[in-house]
Chains A and B, each alone.
Chain A
Amino acid sequence: DGGITQSPKYLFRKEGQNVTLSCEQNLNHDAMYWYRQDPGQGLRLIYYSQIVNDFQKGDIAEGYSVSREKKESFPLTVTSAQKNPTAFYLCASSMPGGGRQPQHFGDGTRLSIL
């Protein structure tokens, strides 16, 4: 079955450490997205990519970085510059077709600080 796979499900970060969250999709979607979810705040957009080798900052990009070298993959790095990284991170993808197309989500990665 097609879908979005996020790994790991749980991740722990030490002070000063960069960590990378994986997101892979086999839906053949062009667009991919990273969101951060905090309790009571809904989803906030970190980065998005509409096409391979191109990506744009979302609303809260500071302290994060991404790459899009392959259509299927959109990894997110949480850098040491992100001072409050503890959150639930969700990856999503969507087909082209403008606003009619919904986003499909992975099952998330929960990041905590050691």
Chain B
Amino acid sequence: AQSVTQLGSHVSVSEGALVLLRCNYSSSVPPYLFWYVQYPNQGLQLLLKYTSAATLVKGINGFEAEFKKSETSFHLTKPSAHMSDAAEYFCAKKGQNFVFGPGTRLSVLP
């Protein structure tokens, strides 16, 4: 069963607009959660991680994510999109092993 879901396989925003990428997880215990970014033909780079400390996690490149236990969500946001943010984004959960969501491709329009 899919335990990490990402709503929207493709999201388009205008440059300067808010970026919101959604991630929901299923877990019987508090999870460790991660967001990764992938540029074409490259590996995944860690953006940020939630490890049960602060619920609002700040990452690199101006991204942040908020852990909401009641909603089993870990959505990724950035106040103002930049052209360089165009990439694929993966949410992941660490249980016995890492489980990755299917990814969301972000396009940034000029």
Say if the beta carbon of B44 comes within 8 Å of chain A.
Answer: yes
The answer to whether A90 touches B44, judged by C-beta atoms less than 8 angstroms apart, is: yes
Point out which of B51, B90, B97 has the most chain A C-beta atoms below 10 A from its C-beta.
B97
> In the bound complex, what is the Cα–Cα distance between A107 and B45 (angstroms)?
10
The answer to whether B101 touches A42, judged by C-beta atoms less than 8 angstroms apart, is: yes
Please give the number of chain B residues whose Cβ is less than 8 angstroms from any Cβ of chain A in the complex.
23
Say if the beta carbon of A40 comes within 8 Å of chain B.
Answer: yes
A57 → chain B closest CB, angstroms: 11
Please give the number of chain A residues whose Cβ is less than 8 angstroms from any Cβ of chain B in the complex.
25
The answer to whether A100 touches B32, judged by C-beta atoms less than 8 angstroms apart, is: yes
The answer to whether A106 touches B43, judged by C-beta atoms less than 8 angstroms apart, is: yes
Residues on B with beta carbons closer than 8 Å to the beta carbon of A45: 97-98
- The interface bits of chain B over 1-19 (1 if a CB of A lies within 8 angstroms of the residue's CB, else 0) are 0000000010000000000
- The interface bits of chain A over 5-46 (1 if a CB of B lies within 8 angstroms of the residue's CB, else 0) are 010010000000000000000000000010100001111010
- The interface bits of chain A over 69-112 (1 if a CB of B lies within 8 angstroms of the residue's CB, else 0) are 00000000000000000001010100000011011111110100
- The interface bits of chain B over 63-105 (1 if a CB of A lies within 8 angstroms of the residue's CB, else 0) are 0000000000000000000000000001010110110111100
> In the bound complex, what is the Cα–Cα distance between A4 and B43 (angstroms)?
10
Residues on A with beta carbons closer than 8 Å to the beta carbon of B44: 43, 90, 92, 103, 105
The answer to whether B42 touches A107, judged by C-beta atoms less than 8 angstroms apart, is: yes
Say if the beta carbon of B25 comes within 8 Å of chain A.
Answer: no
24 contacts between A and B (CB under 8 A): A4-B43, A9-B41, A40-B9, A40-B102, A40-B103, A41-B102, A42-B103, A43-B44, A45-B97, A88-B41, A92-B44, A99-B31, A99-B32, A99-B51, A99-B94, A99-B95, A100-B32, A100-B49, A103-B44, A103-B92, A105-B36, A107-B43, A108-B41, A108-B42
- Not counting A42-B100, A45-B97, A88-B41, a sample of 20 additional A-B residue pairs whose C-beta atoms are within 8 angstroms of each other reads A4-B43, A6-B43, A9-B41, A35-B100, A42-B102, A45-B98, A48-B97, A92-B43, A92-B44, A99-B51, A99-B95, A100-B49, A100-B51, A102-B34, A102-B46, A102-B49, A105-B36, A106-B43, A107-B42, A108-B43
